[in-house]
Amino acid sequence: MRWMFRILDALMITAGACIVVISFFSPMWWFAQPAAEVLLLVMNVFPSPYNWKYKKFRLRVCAGGADLLCAFLIAAVLTVIIHLLVLMLISDETLIVYLMSCAAAIIVLGAVLLNGVLRTYLSSAQLGIKHRVIGVLLSMIPLINLIFLIKVVAVCSAEAEFENNKDILNEQRKSEQICHTKYPILLVHGVFFRDFKHFNYWGRIPKELEKNGAVIYYGNHQSALAVAESGKELAQRIHQIIEETGYEKVNVIAHSKGGLDCRYAIAALGEDEHIASLTTINTPHRGCLFADYLLHRSSPNFQKWVHRTYNKLLRGFGDENPDFLSAVTDLTAENCEAFNQKIHDSGKVYYQSVGSKLNKAANATFPLNLTYNFVKRFDGDNDGLVSETSFEWGEKYTFLTKKGRRGISHSDMVDLNRENIKDFDVREFYVQLVADLKARGF
């Protein structure tokens, strides 16, 4: 159905782009010119009735932009063919009319192209900054710019369909409240990040959980501290939530180093009284050998410089007393081994863990595309930062990857880049994870 409307749009654009030269050789077409112009205008405003099914205006705009670009590509080919065929029939007397037709075709096709680009660039979340910049840089390179437009059409069409299906699914199960757990969800970030108000560390995950009934809180702890210090901050945060809300406990979902911080709070600070479950996401429970390597091979002066620079920067973002070196040191394999010997699980808490694997460095975003091969040299298969052998902890372990070159990275697991990954819906993964906690009585 979508392709039918795209082909109809392409035919209308072609008719509008070629109306001058066609009318010259067939005078009766002059009477069709006003109708062609009206249809062209309507088509630019409402590219396809197929898009009316999308619930969100943004998705309708995004899909409409993709339709216009697709129709433009088809119409551009048809228009060039028609003008090349007509070129063989023109004489000196008709040359001016032919040139006028070429100019009109450029204007018509240019207007459709601009409309499609503006719609997709302004509405798509999946194009990202990278695709937008590449599009601008390639816009003046013939053929390559057309190939890039095909990529834009594919990305935006897939985004509209995928997001609309998610909206439909959430609406269908809204009454079930499958994520409305007995205890609220506390999301705990990893090292070197904070819970910023306008840039959520967890991407689109919290909103997806809330749509399905979850009650969400955040750790709000500093970005880089020793595990023990972060554990203390999280314990204070849990007490604050309990006092303000009246809940007896929380379900903790912790990413990366946050999992170690929470294990410390449970075992060393008595938070097993207030934590019903702990789900660790890509946590280095057995540390990272490459962290040992970095600390042992880099000079003390370099370490001090990085430590001072990072701490100064993060104070500007709200950290009161960040401690870069202590955070990194606690992630070494040596220190994690000592940590595991001293910090024991509590029988009062349900522990489970999740891990993932990145398949190729080139398919990760910065800086994981740089660290992947380095980590692999020391730790083997990894998610760009943490080894596959370091993830597993607790009663249940879920390992995630996907076929092909991409895989699933450390940042993918918290939707940091807001990317729709083919064959892996991170938002739905968390919905089902929390739904399972509810089913277990947590």
Q: Identify the burial level of 143 via C-beta atoms within 10 angstroms of its C-beta, where 0-12 means exposed, 13-18 middle and 19 or more buried.
A: exposed
Range of the domain at 135: 2-169
Do the beta carbons of residue 62 and residue 120 sit within 8 Å? yes
Instruction: Say which residues have a Cβ less than 8 Å from residue 79's Cβ, sequence separation at least 6.
Output: 13, 14, 17, 18, 105, 109
Task: Choose one of 136, 169, 202: the last residue of a domain.
Answer: 169
Say whether both 111 and 212 belong to one domain: no
Task: Choose one of 147, 169, 191: the last residue of a domain.
Answer: 169
Comparing CA positions, the residue from 418, 419, 424 lying closest to residue 354 is: 424
Do the beta carbons of residue 295 and residue 286 sit within 8 Å? no
For tokens 């459709």, name the residue: 112
Q: State both tokens at 224.
A: 């880089």
Say whether both 83 and 202 belong to one domain: no
Say whether both 39 and 93 belong to one domain: yes
For tokens 């190939």, name the residue: 147
- Read off φ and ψ for residue 160, nearest 5 degrees: -60, -45
In this structure, how many other beta carbons lie within 10 angstroms of the beta carbon of residue 378?
16
Kindly report the CATH number assigned to the domain that includes residue 376: 3.40.50.1820
Task: Choose one of 130, 146, 169: the last residue of a domain.
Answer: 169
Dist CA 416 CA 410 (whole Å): 9
pLDDT for the residue 32: 61
pLDDT for the residue 35: 67
Say whether both 326 and 427 belong to one domain: yes
Q: State both tokens at 369.
A: 């595309």
pTM, two decimal places: 0.91
Say whether both 192 and 146 belong to one domain: no
Say whether both 145 and 266 belong to one domain: no
Say whether both 154 and 211 belong to one domain: no
Say whether both 372 and 350 belong to one domain: yes
Say whether both 119 and 254 belong to one domain: no
Say whether both 7 and 35 belong to one domain: yes
Say whether both 36 and 87 belong to one domain: yes
Say whether both 265 and 186 belong to one domain: yes
Query: Widest CA span of the chain, in angstroms?
Result: 94
pLDDT in tens, the chain (442 residues): 788 889 888 888 888 777 766 666 665 555 566 666 777 777 788 888 888 899 899 999 999 999 999 999 999 999 999 888 888 877 777 788 788 888 888 998 999 999 999 999 999 999 988 778 888 887 778 888 888 999 999 999 999 999 999 999 999 999 999 999 999 999 999 999 989 877 899 999 999 999 999 999 999 999 999 999 999 999 999 999 999 999 999 999 999 999 999 999 999 999 999 999 999 999 999 998 878 877 877 888 888 888 888 888 888 888 889 999 999 999 999 999 999 999 999 999 999 999 999 998 877 777 888 889 888 988 899 999 999 999 999 999 999 998 888 899 999 999 999 999 999 999 999 999 999 999 999 9
Domain count, the chain: 2
